[in-house]
Amino acid sequence: MEPAPLASLQEEGEGEPGESPSSAAAAVPPRPATHHSLHKYAPLDWSAYFDEERRVAIPDTEDVFNVYMAGSEGPVVFCLHGGGYSGLSFALAASRMKEKARVVSMDLRGHGKSTTSDDSDLSIETLSSDVIAVLRTLYGDSPPAIILVGHSMGGSVAIHVAAKKVIRNLHGLLVIDVVEGTAMASLIHMQKILANRAQHFPSIEKAIEWSVKGGPLRNIDSARVSIPSTLKYDESRECYTYRTPLEETEKYWKGWYEGLSEKFLSCPVQKVLLLAGTDRLDRALTIGQMQGKFQMVVVRHTGHAIQEDVPEEFASHILNFIARNKIGPNGVEIPGLIKKWQH
């Protein structure tokens, strides 16, 4: 469905479906319609969901990556957002996981509050190297147990990082709603999709409102946390626009997804693919799924951003994965062996 232009958005309480403008005007006295709407779509601060915001400076470079952190026990669930999103895409889910896991959600290059020597370089090689550099800067040569989680473009980055086999103590890979076949087929339409988005917003509240009424999200609370970090203020136009100019990154799109299915299947860790629809498996994944090479979970009643639209269900899938595979803070825990070593 084409995104609705910003001008078409109604204020909350501004008439009902099927009601003519004249009858609505006659039934409802004139009143300022903006107060309730602005309150409903007011930004929410990250600190209600994460415990810490940290700037990770990569040694010997100009690159500084912004990460959000929550929790103090269990394995590290390291989250990578999709193109045009930010680390706060995982905010609501993080608040539901942090009692049993440590959640780290990163603003990728060219997104959120991260700053690099070249924010426009969104090649899969550079994005993957950034993630590896952040993990090494945070944890050195003795990292805790790590589970990589990636949404859309971030799912591709997670797969490439896992496939490099350079992250010590990597115990899981969860990819959210990205399949090579579907992604490659959609690239021809991507510029049109991006061009049809609302491009400029008079306020952050209006951007949040558009994101749930005509944009990619279905959860207002998640949009209130995540959308502000995807925007920047355009002084010349005196309005808000997108922090990440995705339309200028077209030369990298093919590299994000080409060969992704085979690379995913080759990753030597436990794998889960979360999908918003059952018709999205390509041939390689269909065969791999039949062979039991990964677990597929279909999440219903959600859009593309599963972690934002249904954060409770998403968090439960992550925590169930950790429990099922017995992943502790330092790796797989086998009760019999632990008991034996303690004697």
- Check if 160 is active-site: no
Q: What is the pLDDT of residue 333?
A: 80
Amino acid at 55: R
CA 197 – CA 194 distance, rounded (Å) = 5
Choose which CATH entry (3.40.50.1820, 3.80.30.20, 3.40.50.1370, 3.40.190.100) describes domain 41-325: 3.40.50.1820
CA 7 – CA 201 distance, rounded (Å) = 10
CA 55 – CA 58 distance, rounded (Å) = 10
Residue 304: alpha-carbon gap to chain centroid: 10
- Tokens encoding 225: 């946390």
- Tokens encoding 79: 């989250």
Determine which one of 63, 107, 177, 309 is catalytic. 177
- Check if 118 is active-site: no
- Tokens encoding 266: 């080759």
Q: What is the pLDDT of residue 26?
A: 36
- Which is it for strands 76-80 and 146-151: parallel, antiparallel or unpaired? parallel
Tell me which H or E stretch contains 287: helix 283-290
Q: What is the pLDDT of residue 343?
A: 32
3-state SS class at 321? helix
Determine which one of 51, 121, 234, 304 is catalytic. 304
Q: What is the pLDDT of residue 35?
A: 55
Q: What is the pLDDT of residue 38?
A: 73
Domain coordinates in residue numbering, the chain: 41-325
Cβ burial, residue 10 (10 Å; 0-12/13-18/19+) = exposed
Q: Can you give the pTM of this predicted structure?
A: 0.87
Cα-based torsion angle of the residue sequence 214, 123, 321, 92 in order, rounded to the nearest 10 degrees: -40
Q: Spell out, as residue ranges, where the chain has pLDDT lower than 50.
A: 1-34, 337-343
- Check if 142 is active-site: no
DSSP secondary structure code for residue 246 in this structure: G
CA 264 – CA 54 distance, rounded (Å) = 30
Q: What is the pLDDT of residue 69?
A: 98
The helix-helix angle for 250-257 and 124-139 (nearest 10°) equals 70
**Residue 41: how many CB atoms within 10 A of its CB?**
23
Q: What is the pLDDT of residue 281?
A: 86
Determine which one of 37, 128, 129, 152 is catalytic. 152
- Which is it for strands 295-298 and 270-275: parallel, antiparallel or unpaired? parallel
Q: What is the pLDDT of residue 126?
A: 98
Q: What is the pLDDT of residue 336?
A: 52
Q: What is the pLDDT of residue 30?
A: 42
